[in-house]
Amino acid sequence: MANYFSERDKNVTQRLREIRDTLPEFCEEFFIGIEPQTTPLTRLYYAYDLRIFFDYLLRNVRAFRQYEDMLDFQIEDLEKVTTLHLEAYLEYLNLYEYDGKEYTNGNKGKARKISTVRTFFKYFFNHDRISSNVAAKLTMPKLHDKEIVRLEGREIERIINVAESGDGLSDHQRKVQRNTKARDVAILTLLLGTGIRVSECVGLNIGDVDFETNAFTVTRKGGSRAILYFGEEVAEALLNYIEGERKSLIARSEKMDKKDMDALFLSLQVRRICVRSVENLVKKYALEAAPLKKISPHKLRSTFGTNLYKATSDIYMVADVLGHRDVNTTKKHYAAIEEDHRKIAAQVIKLRDGN
């Protein structure tokens, strides 16, 4: 059976090796050292961030201007990096150019890149390869809590109805929707009804779903497997898609890649649907259902988490179903309920009789 996640990790690993070849040779020690505790995708992000960091040093720090490219850096050069250099790098990340393209970062993007640099320096300091960890002194950008965005009751109903009917879509969108409505309804219903991540959704195989028990198996972050359950509305939407559009699509296909044959959700090109496609279809239908809200698959996950907490008042159950290791992560999905409580509190307190 084709494994979406092993294929993804293989592609990520190949890309990681390409990026690592452009970095200073001593970086290889870092990537080998962190391999047991990190995923291939995490290491790829580290590689991207380190590439930007060394490009900055090469172009902006006088001590390294005689170097022709990143490969000239040696482990001893980390000793030449000062707190001032790192503070300047933090400012540099607001707006910089790499490989002919211009990039900007908000505090979240800067925080991730600085976190990579801090992890990098900490690794070599802890392994006695450098004498001090100057990056530990760098203050991380302040991150503000994001507003909780989720769909309300009628909006949940509307987004599914739009996917089914095509109401409000452009002529081109409706032309596509007529051939994908059962699939799109199934995807939206599954995301809203189970709270799974978009990567977990696109990674599902047809064999992962058991309609006798209304259960399915997902691959969580880090590669662990979990059995989740779905209700009758989700079961009906999935069966409608599997027995209808999916079966017809495969029957009409003259050539189908073996690695896509097991995929639950297929594109019109008869390939496993990708994360970007799911993000786009959620955005498309959400624009009609909730035009004032910026809705993504993750917001549908937040919607599920909030609704499950409202129904059960059990934050630990919500954490388990969502696959969160830390219950504090789960709180982000039901924070909006606390706002509802504060609104109620403001109404029940009376300061003068008759008011």
Structural domain boundaries in the chain: 4-137, 153-297
Mean pLDDT of 17-29: 96
Q: pLDDT at residue 22 above 50?
A: yes
Give the Cα separation of 173 and 181 in Å (integer). 11
| Cα 48 off chain centre by | 17
- Point out the least confidently predicted range of 48-62, 117-131, 318-332: 318-332
Smallest Cα–Cα separation from 312: which of 330, 291, 290? 330
Q: pLDDT at residue 1 above 50?
A: no
Q: pLDDT at residue 354 above 70?
A: no
What proportion of the chain, given as a percentage, has pLDDT over 70? 92
Token pair 């000793």: residue: 79
Q: Which tens digits make up the pLDDT trace of 62-73?
A: 999 899 999 999
- Point out the least confidently predicted range of 165-174, 182-191, 269-278, 324-333: 324-333
Please give the mean pLDDT across all residues of the chain.
90
Give 354 or 240, the one with higher predicted confidence.
240
Q: Which tens digits make up the pLDDT trace of 289-311?
A: 999 999 999 999 989 988 888 88
Give the Cα separation of 113 and 134 in Å (integer). 16
The CATH fold assigned to 153-297 is hpI Integrase; Chain A (1.10.443)
What pLDDT is stored for residue 346 in this prediction? 63
What pLDDT is stored for residue 181 in this prediction? 96
Q: How far is CA 132 from CA 34, 128, 135, 137, in A?
A: 20, 9, 9, 11
What pLDDT is stored for residue 67 in this prediction? 95
Neighbours of 276 (CB within 10 A): 10
Q: pLDDT at residue 335 above 60?
A: no
pLDDT bracket for residue 353 (50, 70, 90): low
- Which residues pair with residue 229 across a beta bridge? 215
Q: pLDDT at residue 340 above 60?
A: no
Give the Cα separation of 318 and 305 in Å (integer). 6
Q: pLDDT at residue 14 above 70?
A: yes
What proportion of the chain, given as a percentage, has pLDDT over 90? 72
Q: Which tens digits make up the pLDDT trace of 256-293?
A: 777 888 999 999 999 999 999 999 999 999 999 999 99
What homologous superfamily does CATH list for 4-137? Tyrosine recombinase, N-terminal domain (1.10.150.130)
Q: How far is CA 187 from CA 50, 77, 241, in A?
A: 37, 51, 10
pLDDT bracket for residue 322 (50, 70, 90): confident
- Which residues pair with residue 141 across a beta bridge? none
